[in-house]
Structure 1
Amino acid sequence: MSYPFECGNRTVWDAGYHSGQLFASLARGAAEFLDVPAGLTPTREGGCEVDPAALLTFTERLYGHYASTNSEVMHGLAHGLLITSLVLVERTGGTVPLRPEHEASLGWAKNVFARSMA
């Protein structure tokens, strides 16, 4: 069973059911914390419709928070959500510029995630 993330008529991530639900739940919680919408609307079919502009804003805000702290706990908590969001932003035609100090590590992780996000 899958949990698709759709952008218009295109599937940008056909997540496994549990992976998709967990990502959507984490994004909703982080969006509340960041006081912005996550850009993910649950569908009747059991997935999410992606609003590219809102997802971009959410991911920029999440990355801004990530980049503004040296807290290893905050980095650890945000890492998987941020990487998954960066992949989805790219798949919906957007981009979040990374600071030079994050380009190598986050870029590498983004590539690893993208390969496994069918």
Structure 2
Amino acid sequence: MSYPFELGGETLWDAGYHSGQLYVSLARGAAEFLELPSGLTANPQGGCDVESEPFRAFVEGLYGMYSSTTNEVLHGLAHGLLVTSLVLLERAGGVITLRPPHVALWEERDAFARTMA
């Protein structure tokens, strides 16, 4: 069983059911923490619709929190969610600017993208 993430009828990520559910739960929690909409909405087909502009703002906010602290616990908690979100954002046609200390996130995004069907 899968959990597709779609934008305008195009599948951005055909996640496994549990992976998709966990990602959405983590994104919703982070969005609440950041006081931003996630840009992710459950759809009747059992997946999730992605709204490009609110999702880009969410990823930008997540990265802003990640990059503004040296707290290793916060980095660890946000890291997987951020890298996965960067893959979805790229597939949705969006991009954010990373600061020089974090450009390695692009390589991690590319590695994640290869495993995200």
User: Residues 60-117 of structure 1, C-alpha deviation per residue, up to 9 Å, x if partnerless?
Assistant: 000000000001100000001000111111101110111111102x112101110001
Q: Where do 5+ consecutive residues of structure 2 fail to align?
A: none
Give me the whole-angstrom Cα distance separating, in 2, the residues matched to 1:8 and 1:17.
21
For structure 1, the residue ranges without an aligned partner over 5 or more in a row are none
Please provide the CA RMSD for this pair: 0.6
How many equivalent residue pairs? 117
**Aligned residues: percent identity?**
63
> What displacement does 1:44 show?
1.5
Structure-2 separation of matches of 1:46 and 1:74:
31
Q: In 2, Cα distance between the equivalents of 1:77 and 1:41?
A: 23
Q: Which residue of 2 aligns with 1:101?
A: 101
TM-score, normalisation: structure 1: 0.97
TM-score (norm 2): 0.98
What is the match of residue 65 of structure 2? 65
